[in-house]
Amino acid sequence: MSIWRVPASGCRSADGERQPQPSGDEADAAERGDGAQPPGIGDSQDIERPGEENDACQEAEPGTFWKRLVAGQQEEHQDVSELVKNSLVPNGGRVIAEQDGFQAMSAKGAEADGESAEQRRDSHCQCIRHDATRVYTPGGRSIQWNQLIQIEIHWIFLKQKGGWGYESAFVFCVHCVTSNRLQLKPMNIIADDRCAEYSRRGHPERPARIVRTVEKLNLQRELEITWTRPGLIEDAAILRVHSQRHLARLDQPMDFDADTPFYPGIAGYARASAAAAIESMKSARAGQTAFSLMRPPGHHATSQEVMGFCYLNNVAIALVEALATGVRRAAVFDFDVHHGNGTEEILLDWEGAALFSIHQHPCYPGTGAAKRGSNCFNFPVLPHTPRLEYRRVLSQALDGLKRFEPELVAVSAGFDAYARDPLAEETLEAEDFHWLGQSIANLGVPVFNVLEGGYSHDLPELILAYLKGLSGL
């Protein structure tokens, strides 16, 4: 089975087999551009917090005006029920994580458990240390808290006639307990212009995928970015997931299969892509949002076999490196439209690891129809699945990932479930990838991202939408 030359039945268009259509200029050499490494674009920004005006719990009646003060800006909320519904808190933006805490503190059944109004108030007017994942400011910027800051949430229930009013009298007071400044961290993009140095004319996995995305990211002004080059990778990190024979085969000058050519120097390019995945993982563990923008991709490469445009399994190498260096539980979330068969084969029943893959089926490589082993969870979707249904399946997979409770998440970020991608038949649009970025950011654990597929001319816009979602923009 081929990923693009001879598609499976589920990967054919209505008028038969498709040949990949080149994006942009016809000549791959022209598409590569001058290959200049993008510079960083500025230092981290600081946002001043206001003072400690809201350190004490306050009482409020329904309809009270609430002022949310962040970075000197104000927003008014006339209805306390809206404040509760949207988790908007004065002096702190929008808390995304730990929604269950609100339900746990509700006064439902107050009389049933024998507590008086005063007892209920005394027991629940308390300070809860809340490790929020992200806070959204009125300007639309997001702050990743991680270890930078913690906030305390106070709440009170006011006694109403006949019991406690949950929506009508739910009062928040928030203040910073470890820092008076919030630092907006830029997105860390790991890239190297040398990954655009190899190509085969007409092949969909082309240099323009990276070059045009770098250009797009440098032209946009909404997302703050720092650029990092990958370092070197030791054989030991590769050999945790690939055999020595596999590593040696990368130097033998013959094509691996109909999809996956041999290129002079491909072993070095593949090593750089794997090194970038490790760099992305390290950035995530250090509290940054990170994305490896490199080629070749990796999730089809098995422990023994090069296939499907993939030479080394970048995401598996980085995940196993994390497990070898102190992380106890880590998961891969793979939303590439093609099943990550290589990642599955490598991580199958690997202690402390799990895979959650959402992909079109039937489609290349023909695997991923059902769960495998104890830790590989597959979520196949039919060709032409409507967008809302596709989102529902993505949400289902994310729910499974949350139940696994990983300390670290690796994302195999493939953008070929896009409605106009030439290598599959799905329906997603840029706003769906933005939503997915937001959903992944809200997991509440360190996340690193590794580029897999995505072969449409619109790939740069799709990646930008996803990165903005990750950053809360």
- Residues tagged active-site: 300
CA-to-CA distance for 331 and 146, rounded, in angstroms?
19
DSSP string, 81-139: HHHHHTTEETTTEEE-S-THHHHHT--TTTTTTT--HHHHHHHHS-EEEE--SEEE-TT
Contact 279, 294 (CB under 8 A): no
Q: Residues near 116 by Cβ (< 8 Å), separated by ≥ 6?
A: none
Looking at residue 395, its amino acid is: S
Tell which residue, 435, 457, 132, 466, has the closest CA to residue 291: 466
Q: SS3 for 411? A: strand
Tell which residue, 233, 210, 220, 226, has the closest CA to residue 45: 226
Q: SS3 for 269? A: helix
CA-to-CA distance for 9 and 12, rounded, in angstroms?
6
What size, in residues, is the chain?
A: 473
Taken in order 350, 353, 359, 364, the sign of the CA dihedral is: negative
Q: How far is CA 349 from CA 128, 232, 302, 456, in A?
A: 38, 29, 15, 34
Contact 412, 340 (CB under 8 A): yes
Q: SS3 for 451? A: strand
Q: Tokens 């990838």 map to which residue?
A: 433
Omega cis (within 30) before 365 = yes
Taken in order 447, 449, 453, 459, the sign of the CA dihedral is: positive
Q: SS3 for 35? A: coil
Q: SS3 for 324? A: helix
Other residues' Cβ atoms within 10 Å of the Cβ of residue 387: 16
3-state helix, strand, coil in the chain (%, to 5): 30, 20, 50
Contact 309, 300 (CB under 8 A): yes
